[in-house]
Chains A and B, each alone.
Chain A
Amino acid sequence: DTAVSQTPKYLVTQMGNDKSIKCEQNLGHDTMYWYKQDSKKFLKIMFSYNNKELIINETVPNRFSPKSPDKAHLNLHINSLELGDSAVYFCASSLAGGNYEQYFGPGTRLTVT
Chain B
Amino acid sequence: DAKTTQPPSMDCAEGRAANLPCNHSTISGNEYVYWYRQIHSQGPQYIIHGLKNNETNEMASLIITEDRKSSTLILPHATLRDTAVYYCIVSGYSGNTPLVFGKGTRLSVIA
Contact = CB atoms under 8 A, between A and B. Distances in A.
Interface of A: 4, 30-31, 33, 35, 41-45, 48, 50, 55-56, 58, 88, 90, 92, 94-107, 109
B96 A31 contact: yes
B96 A101 contact: no
B46 to A, nearest CB: 4
B100 A45 contact: yes
Given A4-B43, A43-B44, A107-B43, A99 B98 contact: no
B93 A45 contact: no
18 contacts: A31-B95, A43-B44, A43-B87, A44-B101, A45-B98, A50-B96, A55-B96, A56-B96, A90-B43, A94-B95, A97-B94, A98-B95, A99-B32, A102-B44, A105-B43, A106-B43, A107-B41, A107-B42
A105 B42 CA distance: 8
A31 B98 CA distance: 10
A42 B102 CA distance: 7
A12 B87 CA distance: 29
Given A45-B100, A99-B32, A104 B45 contact: yes
Q: Is the interface of A mostly helix, strand, loop or mixed?
A: strand
Nearest to B100: A45
A84 B42 CA distance: 21
A92 B96 contact: no
Contacts, number: 68
Contacts of B98: 33, 35, 45, 48, 56, 58
Interface in B39-81: 41-46, 49, 51
B10 interface: no
Nearest to B38: A43
Name which of A30, A44, A94, A109 has the most chain B CB atoms within 10 A of its CB.
Answer: A94
Nearest to B101: A43
Given A43-B87, A102-B46, 11 more contacts: A43-B44, A45-B100, A48-B96, A56-B96, A94-B96, A96-B96, A99-B51, A104-B43, A104-B44, A106-B42, A109-B41
B99 interface: yes
